[in-house]
Every structure is written in structure tokens, then in C-alpha cells.
Amino acid sequence: MSDDQTPTYVEKGKEFQRDTTYVSDRITRDARTPEHGPTDGRMWPVEAGRYRLVAAKACPWANRAIIVRGLLGLEDVVSLGMPGPTHDARSWTFDLDPGGKDPVLGIERLQEAYLARFPDYERGITVPAMVEESSGELVTNDFPWITHDLFHEWRDFHRADAPDLWPAEVREEMEEVMQRVFTEVNNGVYRCGFAGSQEAYDEAYQRLWTALDWLEERLTDRRYLMGSAITEADVRLFTTLARFDAVYHGHFKCNRNKLTEMPALWGYARDLFQTPGFGETIDFDQIKAHYYVVHTDINPSGIVPAGPDPAVWHTPHGRESLG
């Protein structure tokens, strides 16, 4: 980050490297030590009404937490705070709320929750973040484990018809699929957009489209990534696909073709978008404002494009016959 409060993302001559060091605390049933995932942080107990999920609609990593919370029926159990789409180098801000403050936490910047817990916190202020409402302190910002634990640890609060997002019979393969989706697609578009050299960009571009072609083939004869039912893997892929034509195709130079030109992936993306719990979490105006305004090193003019027309997301997808 720069000293003038303008976020910088592109390092000239370098490949983009995502900082994946997060606050590894977990929220678990009875504050138990879980069988999977990081256990080096503090364990917090699952408790209805204790925590607030802070997640901006603009951010794909936060978007997945919003979707999972809704699919599982946890809206009345874990509250939701939603920062606006733009931020400076310091923090996400609650500029969409009256008075520019989160109505529950009473803070203007998410940074305040991080500093309440860690006064000398020097890493990036990221969403999603789980915050304890009573203390206003950050609990965790470890995004893949937030959604994992919403499913595995909060089961007592799931609605009766909540989907099985982590089916045991396909879990091993699903972990492999999600890892490839993360490295090559979720993070792959960022490696293209934030490449600091032609060589870094060319390699990132090739890796991204190799993975997208693999997904196109995989989804040609199956409705969802793991078969006939929606899983966590679909949530993780969807948030990138939803942003592809609006942002990644042009802004991040992922422009071999548009999502709308890949029949299986485009049908799959619309299928999910039209499924309750998915499309209503997508705000294309916020998404475009975030990327085109915040990334001044890529788009110094700050001009936000008018298109594409979001109405195409509501057109028939025809994938019901796949299961």
C-alpha cells in the first residue's frame, strides 16, 4: 500500500503473489479443536447473536460468505455488516450505512475492529471478517475457513432444508476441485490483472484459460461441479464467474473470450444466479465501482464502464435436464 492512502497492487516486473496469512482463529462448536484446518489460533464458541459477519458485496471472497450464510439459513444467527464498494489503503468503510457507521459495531472503518484486537496490526484489512459484537474485536478473517465452519460447526442453527454443501461421498474430490479453482481461477484472474511484467501476465493468462477450458468440459454433462447438487465448490466458482464479463474480461485483461461465449460455463453461471441465495447477493454496480475506482494503478481515470447489461443473467439456462 502507498503512503498517500491509494491502494497499489501491481509491482513492476513481478508476478502477483497473494498474501494468504490470515488471523487463524476459528468459531467452533463448544470452542472445540476441529479435526481439519488451522488449529494454531484461538477457538471461539458457536453462539447465536454473538458475531457479525462483515462482508462487502463487491468482494468475491466476501460474497461467498454472504451466499453460504443465506443458503444455511443463518441470517438470524450471525448478523451481517456490509461495507461500501470502495476503500482506500487503510480500510473498507461503512459509507452505505446512515452516518457512515456500521449500525451494530458503531465503527466507520473495519480497520477499527482489527485494531481493537491487535493494536499493532499491520497486514491488509480484508473481508470477510467475523467480529464479536460485544467487544467490537476481530475474531477471524480466514475466508475459506469461515464458510467451512459456517457449515460444519453451526449445524445446530441450520434451517431444516439447508443444502449439504460438503457431501461426504465426494469430499475428497471436491477438495481437489476447489484447490484448482482457487489457484487457477479465483486467484488466476488477479494474477492476470496485477501482473507486473509481460512474462508474468502471459503465464497467468495461459493458466487461467487452461482451467476455464477444463471447467467448460467438466460442466458440459453435469449440472454442478460435483454432480447433481450444489456444493461449496459451486459457491467458490460462482463469485468469480459473476464478475468475469463485468470486470475480469477487460479490467484484468482476461480477454480470450467472454463468459457468455462459453456455453456450459455461461449456462452454469446463470443457473446458479437464478437459484435463491445466489443472484440476490450480486450487485454489479458495486462490483464495477470497487474494481474500476479502487485499482487506480490499472485504471487511473477512475471511469466505471456502463455495461454489460445485467438482464442477460435472467435469460433461460436450459440446464435442468442435467439433473
Report whether 60 contacts 243 (CB < 8 A). yes
Strand partners, 45: 28
- Residue 131: in which H helix or E strand, if any? strand 129-132
Q: Where are the domains of the chain?
A: 26-157, 168-322
pLDDT for the residue 10? 77
CATH class of the structural domain 26-157: alpha beta
| Residue-by-residue pLDDT tens, the chain, 323 positions | 333 344 567 777 778 888 888 999 999 999 999 999 999 999 999 999 999 999 999 999 999 999 999 999 999 999 999 999 998 878 999 999 999 999 999 999 999 999 999 999 999 999 999 999 999 999 999 999 999 999 999 999 999 999 999 999 999 999 999 999 999 999 999 999 999 999 999 999 999 999 999 999 999 999 999 999 999 999 999 999 999 999 999 999 999 999 999 999 999 999 999 999 999 999 999 999 999 999 999 999 999 999 999 999 999 999 999 97
Q: Comparing 26-157 with 168-322, is the CATH topology the same?
A: no
Which amino acids are annotated catalytic? 59, 190
162: nearest Cα among 151, 147, 148: 151
Q: How far apart are CA 218 and CA 237, in angstroms?
A: 13
Q: How far apart are CA 282 and CA 248, in angstroms?
A: 15
pLDDT for the residue 15? 83
65: nearest Cα among 4, 148, 5: 148
Q: How far apart are CA 315 and CA 213, in angstroms?
A: 23
- Residue 51: in which H helix or E strand, if any? strand 51-54
- What DSSP state is assigned to residue 56? -
pLDDT for the residue 14? 75
pLDDT for the residue 4? 34
Number of helices (H), then strands (E), in the chain: 9, 6
Q: Where are the alpha helices (DSSP H) in 118-227?
A: 143-152, 171-180, 188-193, 198-218
DSSP string covering 79-90, please? EEE---S-B-SS
| Cis-peptide into 128, omega within 30 deg | yes
Q: How far apart are CA 269 and CA 263, in angstroms?
A: 10
Place of cell 460455463: 265
For 168-322, CATH gives 1.20.1050.10
Q: How far apart are CA 218 and CA 226, in angstroms?
A: 9
Residue 207 is placed in which grid cell?
493458466
Give the global pTM: 0.95
pLDDT for the residue 3? 30
